[in-house]
Amino acid sequence: GQNIDQPTEMTATEGAIVQINCTYQTSGFNGLFWYQQHAGEAPTFLSYNVLDGLEEKGRFSSFLSRSKGYSYLLLKELQMKDSASYLCALGGATNKLIFGTGTLLAVQP
């Protein structure tokens, strides 16, 4: 089976940097996804890591270490609109996504 852990809630200040961690235990997966979900809206794709290392996309970066069973999402220059839930998900061989419970990020002025 697969077990994915994320912090339930985090708070950060506008303009700052925040790191959201995701640890997992699994027998195998193709890649690790991060999705953003605003309250009452659909999850939207942020990033995808297949290989170990850092993937950078503007203000968002995601890191993966398969040997450590660990990923993080890094958000820079935080904006109020970044307040949302951030979902870590493992992608399997059959396009199946297994989601964590999500981390609710609150950005304060």
27 Cβ contact partners less than 8 Å away, ≥ 6 residues apart: 1, 2
The reply on whether position 100 binds other proteins by CB under 8 A is yes
90 in contact with other proteins (CB under 8 A):
no
Q: Give residues with Cβ within 8 angstroms of 68, minimum separation 6.
A: none
- Give, as ranges, the residues between 13 and 52 that touch other proteins (CB under 8 A): 30-31, 33, 35, 40-45, 48
| Distance separating alpha carbons of residues 90 and 67, to the nearest angstrom | 15
Q: How many residues bind other proteins (CB under 8 A)?
A: 26
- By beta-carbon proximity to other proteins, the closer residue of 94 and 109 is 94
> What distance, in Å, lies between the first and last C-alpha atoms of the chain?
41
The residues binding other proteins (CB under 8 A) are 4, 8, 30-31, 33, 35, 40-45, 48, 87, 89, 91, 94-102, 104
